[in-house]
Chains A and B, each alone.
Chain A
Amino acid sequence: MEHTATHEEHSGGGVKEIVKVTIILSVLTIVELALGFWMMGMPLDSGLRLAVKGAIIILMMAKAFYIVAYFMHLKHEIKNLIMTIVVPLALFVWFIIAFLYDGNSFRHLRNTYDPHFKEQSTIKVEKKEEGKHEEKKEEAKPEEKKVEEKKVVE
């Protein structure tokens, strides 16, 4: 029974805390979904759409915090353990900024210097018809050709 004693030292509020965190996670998820539904009707390149995406990412980080801090119990561990886990993960800040910036810059370069790439992203394709799932699979390739032919005819 020694073990239960050592755990009470760094355990949180028990079932009460679990219920609280469950409610917080559910509410955050519902808000995320509400934002997702709201975003559907927005034009593609609107600033509001970008802002909503940012809000969703902040909510995602909040959810991650609650899961790690309370469900995984990290908040109630001692500082040494928290630091040994969280400090290496700080590398992600650099990873995300560096790689996304690189991807964005590559897109700009290709749009500027690669006419084929630019042209590809302006050709519209026919929208697929509804309720033909089974036949779609086999016809995937011929259909693409058909689309190209239509382009030529047009």
Chain B
Amino acid sequence: MSTTTVQPTKLWSGGKSPFNVEYGKLMMWYFLMSDAFTFGAFLISYGTIRFSTNGWPDPNEVFRSFPFAPEGVHAPLVFVSIMTFILIISSVTMVLAVHAGHNMDKKKVVRNLIWTIIGGIAFLSCQAWEWNHLHAEGAWWGHNPFPNHDGTASSTNFTNYFFTITGFHGFHVFSGVIINIIMLIMTLLDKFEKRGHYLMIEKAGLYWHFVDLVWVFVFTCFYLI
């Protein structure tokens, strides 16, 4: 790793990494960039359709339910803000795991990874509940029971985009949880101790932060504006 010392004038002269990161991490960045374009395309398509339509359902009317809430009690934005905080906190525990990995602190890595996995599963459970609830209300791909904000009839674009984009994001969360579980098993088996570094945790961490990053956009585009 002595090849990674920064020497700005000779970075591209060969023999060392011009990006000062290892191969796998650079490739993870490129993968995330391509994934950002995929999500970006979805969200821009959603925005285009929304701009080309006269009315759109009010998110505060659609996403106003809450688990175990009594019938007739509406709490718009509350449930989704809990989901947002779950994901932010699980992102923080992931940073802490990466940080502990830098210090070769196996115990802290394990503890923070477990918290991250719990956060991911909690988020997925919230999403499963929300999907199930919306499905019970009659919303699904091709079915939209919600009228527009101004009371006019709405098209199925709203539910189609909602389920496709949150579903795609949920699938990313799911794969992130699987990756984190694999990282946890590898840590427990002392794989990284033997390698002498925890760089794998960093790569898994990049993916997990990206999932949180996408949720920032999905949350804003669907629930807030």
| Chain A residues in the interface with B (C-beta under 8 A) | 1-4, 6-11, 14-15, 18, 22, 25-26, 29, 32-33, 35-37, 39-40, 44, 53, 56-57, 60, 63-64, 67-68, 71-73, 77-78, 80-81, 84-85, 88-89, 92, 95-96, 99-100, 102-104, 106-107, 110-111, 117-118, 120-125, 127-128, 130-131, 133-134, 136-137, 140, 147
Stretch at the interface among B47-55, B122-130, B173-181, B182-190: B47-55
| Chain B residues in the interface with A (C-beta under 8 A) | 1-2, 4-6, 11, 18-21, 26, 29, 33, 36, 40-41, 44-45, 47-55, 60, 71-72, 76-77, 81, 84-85, 88-89, 91-92, 94-96, 99, 102-104, 135-138, 143, 145-153, 196-197, 199, 202, 205-206, 209-210, 212-213, 216-217, 220, 223-225
Which A residues are in CB contact (< 8 Å) with B205? 71-72
Question: CA separation between A137 and B185, bound complex, in Å?
Answer: 43
Cβ-closest 7 pairs across A and B: A103-B51, A121-B54, A103-B48, A103-B52, A3-B197, A106-B52, A60-B220
Which B residues are in CB contact (< 8 Å) with A63? 216
Question: CA separation between A134 and B95, bound complex, in Å?
Answer: 43
Question: CA separation between A14 and B2, bound complex, in Å?
Answer: 23
- Cβ contact within 8 Å between B19 and A104: no
- Cβ contact within 8 Å between A103 and B47: yes
Question: CA separation between A72 and B197, bound complex, in Å?
Answer: 18
Identify 10 new A-B residue pairs, CB closer than 8 A, beyond the known A35-B224, A120-B152, A137-B136.
A6-B1, A36-B77, A67-B91, A72-B205, A78-B6, A84-B29, A85-B29, A103-B47, A124-B147, A137-B135
